[in-house]
A and B are shown apart, each in its own frame.
Chain A
Amino acid sequence: MADISHPSAFPSAMRKLKSPALRRALSEPATVFGLVLVAIHLFLAVFGPWIATHDTSALVGDPMQIPSWDFLMGTDQIGRDYFSRIINGGRIALMVSFFGVSLALFVGTALGITAGYIGGRVDEIIMRIVDAMMSIPELILIAILTLALGKDVLALIPVIAIVYTWGAIRVIRAKTISLSMLDFVRAAELRGESRWAIIAREIFPNLTGILGVELAVRISSAVLRISALSFLGLGISQPTPDWGLMVQEAMGVVFTDPWFLLLPALMLSSLIVGVNFMVDGLSRAFGISSSELG
């Protein structure tokens, strides 16, 4: 057998990688592209305030200035630094998405495994509730929830969590059922392991791959959703910077200064494209088939 030699992209770094799956992932340009985009976005989200030093909501100069050393992308319609707002426009949405989706996955995993492995009446009850919740149009559900929970940014976290829990339950339940069919679960039952031991020791470790994928994909989807909400006036509100909100502000000047519309849209789409490329590549390399993803 010929030995698997190392791809040429980053010869020295690649040789240090022990995991062949990671090496496989990094040999695909699309995956690397996705990883780089996601890395940039994460970097901006964490270090944004130190990169763009202007206060995002303060009126720092005359409105609609052209780019200069002071204001790298000029100022917006009311005189705020546009560069600072672009750099920081994803922070809040990403933070809210991360916590909201994590919460949804936590609850979704607990209920999904229970429904999938215990089965029977428990499964029946959980899944009928899921069906009922998923039959409510999403925007209507969000509108009701924001009205109930208030328009605070922190209130968006439970809203996102509630919206994303149901899909997570379905995905985790489906995967749990297919895992439960396998003989290592039979073997554990024959050893007399308790249900909870089987869930924790045998089933859960096999869900980590799919949970990673779910986390990344749902976060990018949640960011888009929050932007849509902000655009409609249900999500993040002024003066907090947000790409969805900035697109909405730009509606009035879209024909004279398309710049204001295109930049936030570009930021938003680069995040989503990046996450999708990254997840596609990584799940291919680590052997998580796309059919397992709900």
Chain B
Amino acid sequence: MERTPHIDVRNLKLVYKTGSNSELTALDDINFTLGKGETLGIVGESGCGKSSLARAFLSYTRPGARIADGQLYVSGVDILRLDGSGLLKYRGGRAALVPQNPLSSLTPHLTIGQHLTELIRQHNANGGITSQQRALDLLAAMELPDPVAIYKRYPHQLSGGQRQRVVIAAALVAEPELIVLDEPTTALDKTVESQVLLLVARLQKETNTTLVYVSHDLNVIARMCERVLVMQNGKVVEEGETKSVFNRPQTEYTRTLIAAIPKLQHAKQPSPVRLADSAPILTVKGLDFTYGRPKNAGSLFNVFKRVSPPPTLQDISLTIQPGSTLGVVGESGSGKSTLASLVAGLVDGNEGKITFDGKPLSGLATGRQRELRRRVQMIFQDPASSLNPQHSVEQIIGRPLQIFFGMTRAASRDRIVELLEELDLPVTCLGRLPRQLSGGQQQRVAIARAFACKPDLVLCDEVTSALDVTVQAHVLGLMKRLQREHNTAYLFISHDLPVVADMSDQILVLEGGRIRDYSDTGTILNHPNSPYTRKLLEAFAIASGHIAQGNLKNVI
């Protein structure tokens, strides 16, 4: 049965103004149609134009951008030509956007109830009941516990997952025919993401809404969407049924994207050499840690004073062999970053329970011996924050050489060039500032800075979570090579289980500051001990399994 398509995009072209008469094409000649109730995924690396396209569905362009050409028909109306009250009615009425960061899309000083009732009144969408009752119904439909309590709360009092549900509720106020979701779960933990995806899928089926889902995560798209659009540099490079595109990609670019996804099946086997019974490089025994612990917590007189905060880490014990990797997985708030900070010496209070190469590793880094500071290095999550924007690459990598090896500027230069080559960075980078490098290059500079010290242990805190999948695969490959060549041990922290499985000889699963599971990688993946680890594995396995097995639809 052939009908007119619900959404029809024709020759869409969007340009950004970059100077008084120069423009940059962000979307070029986009053409596709979508039927009512269909789900479309848009994938691509950052900067490919997927968010610009998502916003075009709401007839919105970012400041400095304009639609240069083309039409976008929704139910036969070219929404790019709408203006004034027509546009106001369209946005939020017939089409709605769920943005990436729910905290910045909610007004901090308004309660959740005020947010929803305002929208309901604006769109006259109360359907015969009071707006308050309608808002409560919506919150209940979002499977939020205790809607009445949520209704009265402010955005900052909700968790990330709850906020995203509230934003989805706000999008559904006027029962739109089209919902655009722009990376709605990127900021969420995997298990929470899983729940939100289930909710969206259920709502989509119940209401037969057309769904456009933008994500860099192919797993999520595979789970959610019947059709997919692969974008590169503002152009559609591949389009079709999700199943066929992901199983039989036609273009090199799509193949690269799919190959770059870390898969649980490909987890490396622990090498017997690396887990041999040599003396461990790092040992942690029975570590407890609480932020802001009151000095005399045991005193009787403190009974009526404020309750001491819950411990961040409880009874943590682990060992890392030289040259091997211990992966630490857990969701945000599980204490995994605190663990790294304690080992690194960014926070005080490990009470001598951490030993490095037989010597106690206590207190703050500034109080430790220089040799210890050199041998334990840390790589941070976001290179935009860990590299000083005013320092050139040469200065950034050269500083540890001056401090730890007493090299002069001239002497350090050869060593810096050597390090750049080890990390596949061009020598022309030397004089550049961090902002003149791509995200992947920045992170490789940060890695070079750590390896400049010839460390024995490198603490990696979510080092690839800010990167695109293809870049992530490259960086992880380099890190493995460096580890082999220099026999460096890694404490590898991530929320992304497949990445950790790919990198680690052993895995430690943290939840709420306690160890839930701690064993070699194979055992964790195949015979997890705790229900929590099983839940975590499922959240990833379902998603990864889709692409590999072609088992795409109706699992949810």
Q: Which residues of A contact B (CB under 8 A)?
A: 1-9, 23-24, 27, 182-184, 186-187, 189-193, 202, 205-206, 208
Contact = CB atoms under 8 A, between A and B. Distances in A.
Interface in B119-138: none
Given A187-B449, A192-B370, A2 B23 contact: yes
A192 B365 contact: yes
Interface string B361-392: 00011101010010001101110011111110
Given A186-B380, A205-B390, A7 B385 contact: no
B365 A190 contact: yes
Interface stretch (B14-22, B98-106, B262-270): B14-22
A2 B385 CA distance: 29
28 contacts: A1-B24, A2-B22, A2-B24, A5-B19, A5-B22, A6-B22, A7-B19, A8-B21, A23-B19, A27-B19, A27-B20, A182-B386, A183-B385, A186-B346, A186-B378, A187-B449, A189-B346, A190-B373, A190-B377, A190-B378, A191-B373, A191-B399, A191-B403, A192-B368, A192-B403, A206-B388, A206-B389, A206-B390
Contact of B373 (A2, A23, A192): A192
Interface string B401-435: 00110000000000000000000000000000000
Nearest to B16: A2
Nearest to B376: A190
> Which 3 residue pairs of A and B lie closest in terms of their CB atoms, listed nearest first?
A183-B386, A7-B20, A205-B390
Given A27-B19, A187-B380, A187-B449, 13 more contacts: A1-B24, A5-B22, A6-B19, A7-B19, A7-B21, A183-B380, A189-B364, A189-B365, A190-B344, A192-B365, A192-B373, A193-B403, A208-B390
B547 to A, nearest CB: 30
A2 B365 CA distance: 47
A175 B220 CA distance: 39
A6 to B, nearest CB: 7
A24 B346 contact: no
Best-surrounded residue of B19, B22, B23, B399 (most CB of chain A within 10 A): B19
Nearest to B446: A187
Best-surrounded residue of B18, B25, B373, B400 (most CB of chain A within 10 A): B18
Contacts of B365: 189-190, 192
Contacts of B23: 2
Best-surrounded residue of B345, B364, B380, B388 (most CB of chain A within 10 A): B388
Contacts of A3: 22
A250 to B, nearest CB: 42
Contacts of B346: 186, 189-190
B367 to A, nearest CB: 9
A7 B22 CA distance: 7
A7 B24 CA distance: 14
B314 interface: no
Nearest to B369: A192
A25 B21 CA distance: 14
A182 B364 CA distance: 18
Interface string B430-457: 0000000000000000000100000000
Contacts of A190: 344-346, 365, 373, 377-378
A197 to B, nearest CB: 10
B355 interface: no
Given A184-B387, A205-B388, A191 B400 contact: yes
A186 B403 CA distance: 16
B66 to A, nearest CB: 15
B233 interface: yes
B391 to A, nearest CB: 8
B44 to A, nearest CB: 15
Contact of B378 (A2, A5, A187, A206): A187
Contact of B18 (A4, A193, A206, A208): A4
Contacts of B377: 190
A25 to B, nearest CB: 12
Contact of B24 (A4, A24, A182): A4
A255 to B, nearest CB: 46
Given A186-B386, A189-B365, A205-B388, A8 B373 contact: no
Contacts of A183: 380-382, 385-386
Contacts of A184: 385-388
Nearest to B395: A201
Contacts of B370: 192
A264 B227 CA distance: 70
Contacts of B387: 184
Nearest to B22: A5
Nearest to B341: A186
A193 B385 CA distance: 18
A3 B21 CA distance: 12
Best-surrounded residue of B233, B373, B390, B403 (most CB of chain A within 10 A): B390
Nearest to B396: A184
Nearest to B20: A7
B22 A4 contact: yes
Contacts of A187: 378, 380, 386, 449
A4 B382 CA distance: 28
Nearest to A23: B19
A24 B366 contact: no
Interface string B8-42: 00000000001111111100000000000000000
